[in-house]
Structure 1
Amino acid sequence: MSSNIRQARESLGFKLREARLDAGLSGKELAGRAGWQASKVSKIELGKQTPTEADIRTWLEIANAQERGADLVAELRSLESKYMEWRRRIRDGVRVRQEEIRELESRSGRIRSFQCSVIPGLLQIPPYMRERFKRSVHIWGARDDIEEGIKARLKRQDILYEADVHIVMTEAALRYGTAPREILMEQLDRLSLATSLPRLKLGIIPLRESYAATPLHGFHILEDHTVLVETFAAELTLVQPGEIEIYAKVFDALASIARYGRDARSVIAQVLTELRAEAESGDCD
């Protein structure tokens, strides 16, 4: 759990504790009136458990502090926006999420993105997008609006001509079986062409390069105010300056060992050559 989420949860718990103390209630008394175990009150106050909106309203009603409800519920919703389960994030379909990201990117004149296992969305071709979205629908149970999602992601790619975009990816991302071989080969052809886009700086880190920072996961830095981090279960939205600074330093470290321009195209060409040889070998079999 990132520190800004933990701090936000602790802040919410502290304010609920204040409401309880102002009412002259012990934690045990509040829990008893709410029908909860006493441990729930202490966990919420210490920031170890996130209350629901219903919990907050019940708490404040018992403490006769309903006037604080709007502010604390708004604080809870802000906390939840920083850590959003993928199941909830894309429950309305993949198109909605792509439009949300496009809105964030459209307000950014500078974008930095790192990917260690897949081709970044801003550089994907429709067949590759379709494979990625199919897996999202399967794993997280998103609404199947894949074709609409593809159109929305293609619109996101307009930012490549409108902002300064710096993308770094690993050679492993070119090789992983994230799409059938034929689609991956087409994707890599397009990726090679993308290295010549005037406002895009595309770097590829060779497979055996000595890493200055361990590539644990992908992330997206918008200007210097927001970092989007994807995990298997959720997406984190980080806005705390200290955390953004860390991600910026990690990005710089990764970018410093990447290959650009002709050297990046050489890495792509080598992977393509191997994929084509595998395809030909398979045909011969």
Structure 2
Amino acid sequence: MGQQVLYDGEHHYDVILGEQALYANVGGPKVMCEQLERLLRDIDLPSLRLGIVPATAEMSLVPKPGFSLYDGGRAHYGLVSSSVDITDPAELALHHRAFDAISDAARYGGSAKALVNKALTFWNNA
């Protein structure tokens, strides 16, 4: 997703991250702090609904690997060497149920910000 679409007023994104992703060291502590600060800036955008699934959250379903759902009836998996698009209505219904289950486990708003701030404190002290 190009970041500019978050600001164009034409798109809306529901994004859910596992708390563990906030601690995956991609680029070192400075880069991680910058990324987390960006999340904190963007978390209140009207075009974005960002949920964080706490590491200790009870999950009724955990899809592997992660996937994207698009308007127009498509689920997308980006893999290392290729990608897969799911368009079968029955399979899409399963993906929507999986998204709903993950969404139910996620924290939003102030609770999500608290998880991001906790990770930011970790990286600031790394």
**Fold in common (TM above 0.5):** yes
The residue correspondences of 1:160-179 to structure 2 (distance < 5 A) are: 161-179=9-27
Query: Cα–Cα, structure 1 residues 164 and 155, in superposed 2: closer, same or farther, change >3 Å?
Result: closer
CA spacing shift, 1:215–1:181, aligned 2, 3 Å: farther
What's the TM-score, normalizing by structure 1?
0.42
Alignment partner for residue 61 of structure 2, among 189, 198, 213? 213
Q: Distance in 2 between matches of 1:192 and 1:217?
A: 25
SS across alignment from 1:256: helix
Count of aligned pairs: 126
Q: Where in structure 1 are there 5+ consecutive unaligned residues?
A: 1-121, 123-152, 279-285
In structure 2, distance between residues paired with 1:225 and 1:158: 24
1:247 and 2:92 equivalent?
Answer: no
Any conservation in 1 of the 2:5–2:11 contact (CA below 8 Å)?
Answer: no
Cα shift at 1:157: 4.1
Give the one of 208, 231, 237 matched to 2:85: 237
Q: Displacement of 1:215 after TM fit? A: 3.8
Q: Give the letter aligned to residue 27 of structure 2.
A: A
What displacement does 1:202 show? 0.8
Give the alignment's Cα RMSD to 1 decimal.
1.6
**Residue type of the alignment partner of 2:100:** D
Q: Kindly indicate which of the two structures has a greater share of residues assigned to helix.
A: 1
Aligned AA for 1:197?
L
Specify which structure has the higher proportion of strand: 2
Counterpart for residue 75 of structure 2: 227
- Aligned-partner Cα distance in 2 for 1:156–1:237: 22
Measured against aligned partners, the alpha-carbon deviations of 1:195-251 in whole angstroms (never above 9, x if no partner) come to 111131110001111112114112111114111112223210111111111111100
- Partner Cα distance (1:241, 1:198) in 2: 29
| Distance in 2 between residues matched to 1:158 and 1:235, nearest whole Å | 27
Residue number in structure 2 paired with 1:260: 108
Measured in 1, the distance between the counterparts of 2:85 and 2:57 equals 30
SS at match of 2:14: strand
Greater Rg, structure 1 or structure 2?
1
The CA distance in 2 between the partners of 1:217 and 1:162, in whole Å, is: 28
Partner of 2:29: 181
Query: In structure 2, the residue corresponding to 1:204 is in which secondary structure?
Result: strand
Bigger relative contact order (CA 8 A; separation at least 6): 2
TM-score (ref. length: structure 2): 0.90
Show structure 1 runs of 4+ deviating over 2 A.
153-159
User: For the residues of structure 1 that align with 2:96 and 2:3, how far apart are their CA atoms?
Assistant: 26
> Mind listing any 5+ residue stretches in structure 2 that lack a counterpart?
none
2: distance between equivalents of 1:179 and 1:246? 35
Q: Is the Cα–Cα contact under 8 Å of residues 174 and 188 in structure 1 kept in the other structure? A: yes
